[in-house]
């Protein structure tokens, strides 16, 4: 998922996993028959996973044998960045790549997370978290290092909207009037360039609104008026027909990638750098819950909420076409994944949303990093 999902649009994964070699001519069902394990499997540091019970908490070894996990909010898995968060929204890397900002959807808190430190509350927004609303996504100003500005997609009592956040100031409205409903409020942000913010909006539970030119629902919008004002130019529609919004992310060539969920399938779509060609790239009829994404010149990583995995699709650098069936990382290891961002070292950071379900773990919700094994290609 941003504005600047990674530190910069040129930040790419260091390596990509080995993919299946079966080429695909079009869309395919996402299931075990179309996905192959990575070779080799990702390395998860010193923490050990019990092969008899892979869902059990990892343990680490001592000279006297395995060490029992010490308790809630302490996770021995070295790839866990932060624990005991509320259910997360979007995730964005901070400059330097050693830390990230993650949204807590229901509390409205923006938390800074980094390896080896406790999460720090940076800001708190007043949001309506009923249904699937709340603090849904974050993005950094392209000049964040100088101005410190953040942008957020939020649900209020009356609508969904985009606000700008400056230290020591109240949030300022950038785009208001995005339809709100009991469900379908998800939205996402990413900067296409310093002057244009991409805003992905859900259909607010009304598929007809997604194709209605008069509605802001169910669209990918190009917003060029970033200074809070009531009389700025109306946003331009780059893509219509969005169902439940997943994410928007941009590859180094300027291609725009969009994930969303419809009543019949989950989708990955792409708009070429000129904005002229919109291509449905992949569909999942079994609807694994596509969410956050991160894109490089040769692959796209997509968080799958329902399938509890991170999918990686190898893509043609010129056309954006998917050249092999999706492969999975960390399936069932961390539970339901949502926001995603690519760190400068090529690892994927993701937030979990296990508190949305009925059986969260004692350390949920978490931010985790997902190592990408060597071999099979490159995002560089």
- 3 state SS of 121: strand
Model confidence at 188: pLDDT above 90 = yes
Q: Reply yes or no: is the peptide bond before residue 315 cis, omega within 30 of 0.
A: no
Give the integer Cα–Cα distance in Å for 315 and 305. 22
How confident is the model over 65-88, as a mean pLDDT? 82
Average pLDDT across the chain, whole number: 83
Helix, strand, coil percentages in the chain from 3-state DSSP, rounded to 5: 5, 40, 55
Of the listed ranges 4-13, 161-170, 251-260, 285-294, the least confidently predicted one is 4-13
Largest distance between two CA atoms of the chain: 69
Give the integer Cα–Cα distance in Å for 110 and 122. 6
Confidence of residue 277 (pLDDT cuts 50, 70, 90): confident
Model confidence at 28: pLDDT above 50 = no
CA torsion 47-370-189-288 (nearest 10°) is -100
Quick count: other Cβ atoms within 10 Å of Cβ 285?
A: 13
Token output for 238: 């780059």
Cα radius of gyration rounded to whole Å, the chain: 19
Q: Reply yes or no: is the peptide bond before residue 40 cis, omega within 30 of 0.
A: yes
Domains defined along the chain, listed by start: 32-46+79-370 (2.120.10.30)
CB 364 within 8 A of CB 354: yes
Backbone angles phi, psi at 149, to 5 degrees: -85, 140
Closest CA to 84 of 41, 113, 56, 64: 113
Pairing mode, if any, of strands 187-193 and 196-201?
antiparallel
How confident is the model over 269-288, as a mean pLDDT? 92
Distances (CA, A) of 262 to 16, 161, 184, 186, 239: 29, 22, 11, 13, 15
Token output for 265: 């399938």
Complete DSSP assignment for 9-27: TT---S----------SS-
Give the integer Cα–Cα distance in Å for 60 and 310. 24
How confident is the model over 209-238, as a mean pLDDT? 89
Phi-psi region of 90 (alpha: psi -120 to 50; beta: other; left: phi over 0): beta
- Please name the helix (run of DSSP H) or strand (run of DSSP E) that holds residue 146, with its range, or none: helix 144-147
Residue 229's pLDDT is what? 60
Confidence of residue 1 (pLDDT cuts 50, 70, 90): very low
Confidence of residue 24 (pLDDT cuts 50, 70, 90): very low
Model confidence at 69: pLDDT above 80 = no
Q: Which residue has the higher pLDDT, 280 or 44?
A: 280
Model confidence at 80: pLDDT above 50 = yes
């Amino acid at each position: 998922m941003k504005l600047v999902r990674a530190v910069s649009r040129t930040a790419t994964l260091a390596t990509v996993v080995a993919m299946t070699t079966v080429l695909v001519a079009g869309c395919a069902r996402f299931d075990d028959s179309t996905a192959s394990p990575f070779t080799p499997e990702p390395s998860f540091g010193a923490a050990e996973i019990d092969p008899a019970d892979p869902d059990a908490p990892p343990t680490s070894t001592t000279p006297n044998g395995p060490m029992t996990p010490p308790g809630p909010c302490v996770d021995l898995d070295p790839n866990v960045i932060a624990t005991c968060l509320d259910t997360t929204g979007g995730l964005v890397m901070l400059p330097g790549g050693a830390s990230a900002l993650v949204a807590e959807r229901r509390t409205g808190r923006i938390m800074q997370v980094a390896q080896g430190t406790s999460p720090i509350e940076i800001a708190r927004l007043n949001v309506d978290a009923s249904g699937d609303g709340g603090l849904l996504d974050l993005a950094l100003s392209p000049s964040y290092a100088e101005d410190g500005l953040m942008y957020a997609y939020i649900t209020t009592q009356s609508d969904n909207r985009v606000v700008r956040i400056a230290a020591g100031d109240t949030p300022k409205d950038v785009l208001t009037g995005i339809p709100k409903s009991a469900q379908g409020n998800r939205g996402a942000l990413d900067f296409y360039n310093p002057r244009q913010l991409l805003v992905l909006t859900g259909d607010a539970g009304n598929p007809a609104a997604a194709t209605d030119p008069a509605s802001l629902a169910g669209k990918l919008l190009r917003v060029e008026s970033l200074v809070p004002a009531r009389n700025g130019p109306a946003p331009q529609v780059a893509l219509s027909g969005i169902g439940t919004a997943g994410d928007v992310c941009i590859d180094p060539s300027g291609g725009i990638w969009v994930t969303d969920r419809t009543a019949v399938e989950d989708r990955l779509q792409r708009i070429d750098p000129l904005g002229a060609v919109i291509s449905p790239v992949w569909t999942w009829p079994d609807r694994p819950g596509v969410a956050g994404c991160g894109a490089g010149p040769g692959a796209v990583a997509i968080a799958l909420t329902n399938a509890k995995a991170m999918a990686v699709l190898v893509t043609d650098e010129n056309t954006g076409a998917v050249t092999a069936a999706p492969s999975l990382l960390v399936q069932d290891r961390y539970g339901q994944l949502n926001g995603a961002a690519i760190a400068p070292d090529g690892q994927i950071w993701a937030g979990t949303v296990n508190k949305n379900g009925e059986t969260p773990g004692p350390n949920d919700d978490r931010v985790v990093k997902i190592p990408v094994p060597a071999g099979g290609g490159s995002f560089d």
